[in-house]
Structure 1
Amino acid sequence: MSVLLAGLCTVDLVQRVTHLPAPGEKVQSGGVQVAAGGPATNAAVTVAALGGDATLLTVLGRHPLALLARDDLADHGVTVIDLLPERDAPPPLSSVTVRDHDGERTVVSHNAAALEDAVDAFDLDEHPAWQRRRPDAVLVDGHHPALALAAARWARRHDRPLVVDAGSWKPVFADVFPLAAVVACSARFRAPEGALDDVAVVVTTAGPEPVRWRTRGGSGTVAVPEVDARDTLGAGDVWHGAFVSRLGPGRAGEHRNDDRLVEDIAFANAVAAERVRHVGPRSWIGPVRAMMGER
């Protein structure tokens, strides 16, 4: 199973604390970790952890911080296609604080706001870095509009299912949603009226609450396993990576069976639930692989 994941790659500085600081308060952290992050990036790490071939299409550059992200991704089996490899500026950064007793977190991130127009519109098949790859499925997070649209159009042109990670509304989604097999929304996602009307499959995640889904033929919910949450950082991204790893050519939204959709959601729920049981950006990978061996 091979997946193209197009979108944001950040450098995450993650610290664990006994309680989240109030304004003006200084708090001593109990641990510090640095890892590559971002929705598409965390999903790519998940695909690789589940045994898939993950290719991340993103913008990183050659700044020393970008090298940290590259090394982390290489260590976890993710191939990176960087559309601006000579860029000297720092990559997007995120400062993450995780509360020990329940895994709740706060995130301060610059994201890709400064890079919105850094990549012009392009045809993925014609890009020299692409080398005629043929992934089985595609996921986009919308953080780099040109990347999202290029990947979405490639998926449509080559009859590959496209999953959209819709954490928050982005203008490019107006062009991407009509090409999607599945739009996976967060519970806080708000779209303009009618934006989701023509999407064949819409899935809504809400942390530990049941995942809602609707297709053209039905709707329902899928329960999330009850676990002792230790670290919720990137759990939604892990969910998306696990979900897209189940797709392949011909699995377009309008042709999907509702029972199979429920199975795919249940699988993603189980992987994300296992992720939150473990502290740290990568500590969950071994247990998830062990879980897969038991299935």
Structure 2
Amino acid sequence: MKITVVGSTNMDMVVKTTHLPAPGETVLGGSFFMNPGGKGANQAVAAARLGGDVTFITKIGNDVFGKQSSQLFDDEGINISCILADREQPSGVALITVDDNGENSIVVASGANAALTPVDVSTCLNRIEKAEIMLLQLEIPMDTVELVADYAAANNIRLVVNPAPANILSEDLLKNIHIITPNATEAEMLTGVKVTDETSAEAAANVLHQKGVTKVIITMGKAGALVFDGTEAKMVAAPKVTAVDTTAAGDVFNGALVVALAEGQDLIKAVEFSCLAAALSVTKLGAQSSIPYRNEIIINRLQLNA
């Protein structure tokens, strides 16, 4: 089953240090490396590595970072026919600091991502094979997000939206979403409900469902994810691991989710698969460098069941 991801591409510049700097503080020491990233790119690569048939729609700069990213997507087996190059804007860049506990602080310069227009995406959607499931995030312009949501609804395509970075979504957009996957902070912004535990997560999920979203998955870090199918809620636990870097955990979760759904798994099984993939990703440094392959999921699932 075909998957289309629409979203951002960045080059991540990462510093690993003892603690995240407070305002005005300079922290010396630490290691530096660059790693391809961007929420859209991370999710597309995750879906491809985990077995999905993926087309990625994104916009890069006509620069060395953009060329590197495009080559990487091709190497991952992603359909790159809708990788667009902007001759005026540079490729997106993210500056990331990661502390000893695996927590991170991120600042993004959007670059070409902010120039991915509804016309760009509409043109691409009209010339690629229609997907059965689509995946979106919010590092591209909101009018582009809304265009994709309208397209998915008009063509009976299941749309998964990861509402990150946190932003307010219109009621018209929410009604076109099949599954929304906020974390606790994003769920609070969307609903006004502070999510601290399973009970408050269920309350937030109910609010989103009442606003028109068919199904809700609220990710809760090492606790796992709260799944609400429109009728009942269930907590899916995450495997216990030692976190090194949580940068791409949410992206891996979403990439894994659309693969599992495309393969016909029910929602709970799909979320279990996604939690395992995300847990494996936090045991490694970096964004795309931390994304597991399908064989790693199989091996770790067998070990957990042993």
For this structure pair, what is the TM-score category when the shorter chain's length is used for normalisation?
A: 0.7 to 0.9
1:89 and 2:89 are equivalent in the alignment: yes
Q: What is the match of residue 273 of structure 1?
A: 279
**Alignment map for 1:43-54 (pairs within 5 Å):** 43-54=43-54
Q: Which amino acid aligns with 1:212?
A: L
Q: What is the match of residue 133 of structure 2?
A: 137
8 Å Cα contact 2:276/2:297 also seen in 1: no
8 Å Cα contact 2:2/2:52 also seen in 1: yes
The 1:54/1:83 distance shift into structure 2, 3 A limit, reads closer
RMSD between aligned alpha carbons? 2.8
1:30 and 2:31 are equivalent in the alignment: yes
The 1:174/1:122 distance shift into structure 2, 3 A limit, reads farther
TM-score, L = length of structure 1: 0.83
1:195 Cα offset (Å) = 5.7
Q: What is the match of residue 152 of structure 1?
A: 149
Q: How far, CA to CA, are the matches of 2:88 and 2:231 in structure 1?
A: 50
Structure 2: state its 5+ residue gaps. Answer: 193-206, 302-306
8 Å Cα contact 1:6/1:147 also seen in 2: no
The alignment partner of 2:190 has SS state of coil
The 1:111/1:86 distance shift into structure 2, 3 A limit, reads closer
Deviates further, 182-191 or 68-77: 68-77
Q: How far, CA to CA, are the matches of 1:34 and 1:229 in structure 2?
A: 18
The aligned length equals: 282
8 Å Cα contact 1:8/1:144 also seen in 2: no
Deviates further, 270-279 or 188-197: 188-197
Structure 1: state its 5+ residue gaps. Answer: 252-258
1:167 and 2:181 are equivalent in the alignment: no
Q: How far, CA to CA, are the matches of 1:128 and 1:285 in structure 2?
A: 27
1:187 and 2:184 are equivalent in the alignment: yes
Q: Which amino acid aligns with 1:104?
A: E
1:162 Cα offset (Å) = 0.6
* 1:207 aligned to which of 221, 245, 249: 221
**Alignment map for 1:1-295 (pairs within 5 Å):** 1-22=1-22, 23-35=24-36, 37-80=37-80, 82=82, 84-99=84-99, 101-111=100-110, 116=114, 118-122=115-119, 127=123, 130-142=126-138, 143-170=140-167, 173-189=170-186, 190-191=189-190, 196-197=209-210, 198-248=212-262, 260-285=266-291, 288-292=294-298
Q: How far, CA to CA, are the matches of 1:205 and 1:18 in structure 2?
A: 26
TM-score, L = length of structure 2: 0.81
Deviates further, 52-61 or 13-22: 13-22
The alignment partner of 2:182 has SS state of strand
8 Å Cα contact 2:7/2:57 also seen in 1: yes
The 1:293/1:192 distance shift into structure 2, 3 A limit, reads closer
8 Å Cα contact 2:61/2:86 also seen in 1: yes
The alignment partner of 1:150 has SS state of helix
Deviates further, 240-249 or 38-47: 240-249
1:169 Cα offset (Å) = 4.5
Deviations 1:84-141 (Å, cap 9, x if unpaired)? 5243321221111222x322211111236x865x4554496x6167523122210111
1:196 Cα offset (Å) = 4.6
The alignment partner of 1:73 has SS state of helix
The 1:40/1:220 distance shift into structure 2, 3 A limit, reads same
8 Å Cα contact 2:60/2:113 also seen in 1: no
The 1:96/1:282 distance shift into structure 2, 3 A limit, reads same
Q: Which amino acid aligns with 1:53?
A: D
